[in-house]
Amino acid sequence: MFLRILKDSFLRRRRRKILTVAALALGTAVTMATLSVALDIGDKVGRELRSFGANILVRPQADTLPLEIGGVDLRPLSEGSFLAEDDLPKLKRIFWRHHLLSFAPFLQQPAALPGGESAVLVGTWFEKTLALEEDERFVTGVKVLNPNWQVEGAWPADSAEPQALAGAALAERHGWKVGDEITLELAGQPAKLRVSGLLGTGGDEDRQIFVPLAWLQQATGRGKVFRQLQISALVSPDDEFSRRRPGSMTPAEFDRWYCTPYVSSIAHQVQEVLPGSRADVVRRVAQAESAILGRVERLLQLVSLAALLGAVLAVLSTMTTTVLERRPEIALMKALGADSFSLGALFLAEAAGLGLLGGALGYGLGLAGAQWIARSIFGAAVTANPVLLPLMLGLATAAAVVGTLAPLRTVQRTDPALVLKEK
């Protein structure tokens, strides 16, 4: 009997049912779109932010006091400590190895140019392919680390060949062009470099000369070492917990911190695999990323909440009108022996059915909307997440049930004698 009454209730007042389903579908679709964008595009936004440079800086733990100008280490290679280049593939073994998007080692050396002017040679990887375990290959270097660098000409090869990527300001001052040969004095020995490209960043790099790390190591006789490592890692926004010192955490808190891709926890793991290293977070970059990602997440949460609240209000309006119109029917059922619990279950079941239908429609519409938002704003597609289907069904059903709770008071207070007497 209950199911037959429920079926008849669904088939009646179809226009109002369609409006209710449409409101639930719209609210669910907006929520589905924002969640899909937040879950899938969040990483893509993070990757876009990573194009502005490294957020982790690694140096030797036992290094002497730094002597830097414009972020460039100007100490002679005979001073300070170094890190082993052969240890760098270990970075792809840490817990959050897949969050390490790129990294590049750096080795600085002052050199003398003709006329007595000094310049800084920076040995680094340009586009290095690392052979990892299980035949995996990982391409990294400054070309990947800084995709916004503007290069006129060609990037030097990662070999021991005397090639150079000259800073635009330094090249303009000396009249260097692509293909020219630079004569300089390096570590007391004459050396020549062929300019393969000119680099323009608008920063300190415009006044430096970038050379293959292997060539600089060989020219200075220091072996396979480097002095600084820049890492670009995809991280989660910082919060109060992420800024706590690991030493002050309980074992459970440390495991939670260690297994969350905070920039501080990734820096800690880098120190674990690089002996004698000290990994520091570039706070200016990390804080800017956290602020942007955090605001985007809060905005999407507010939009989702507003959409669901709108769906609840729409259901409340339609269900209130439905209950008022069906007061004679409710009074008759009460007069025939139906109690308030049975009548309430009838309206809640009807609302739940409408919620399931609206949630299913909202999932499809939201997925299409997420694809449109992602392609038009972020220039990327989102991946359909099947886990969101039951979540959307649950949210739409919950919204429909919550919107029905207030009208149920009218059902409970309906006096069959008074209502039937009015008829």
> Distances in Å between the alpha carbon of 394 and those of 17, 33, 116, 207, 346?
19, 16, 74, 59, 19
CB 206 within 8 A of CB 198: no
The arithmetic mean of pLDDT across residues 352-359, rounded, is 86
Would you state the pLDDT for residue 77?
A: 45
Q: What is the structure's pLDDT at 236?
A: 81
Q: Report pLDDT digits (tens) over 275-332.
A: 889 998 887 665 666 666 677 777 777 888 888 888 888 888 777 777 776 677 777 6
Q: If we measure between CA atoms, which residue out of 54, 53, 81 comes closest to residue 66?
A: 81
- Output 213 or 47, whichever has higher pLDDT: 213
Express each pLDDT in 37-75 by its tens digit. 777 665 666 666 656 678 899 999 876 445 555 555 555
Q: Give strand pairing partners of 103.
A: 231
Q: How many angstroms separate the CA atoms of 32 and 28, rounded?
A: 6
Q: How do 181-186 and 137-140 pair as beta strands?
A: unpaired
Alpha-carbon gap, residue 55 to 267, rounded angstroms: 9
Answer whether 362's CB lies under 8 Å from 24's CB.
Answer: yes
Q: What is the dihedral of CA 342, 345, 347, 353, to 10 degrees?
A: -140
Domain ranges in the chain? 2-45+291-422, 55-281
pTM of the model: 0.67
pLDDT tens digits along 125-175: 999 999 887 778 899 999 999 888 889 999 999 988 899 999 999 999 889
> From the CB of residue 178, how many other CB atoms can be counted at a distance below 10 Å?
15
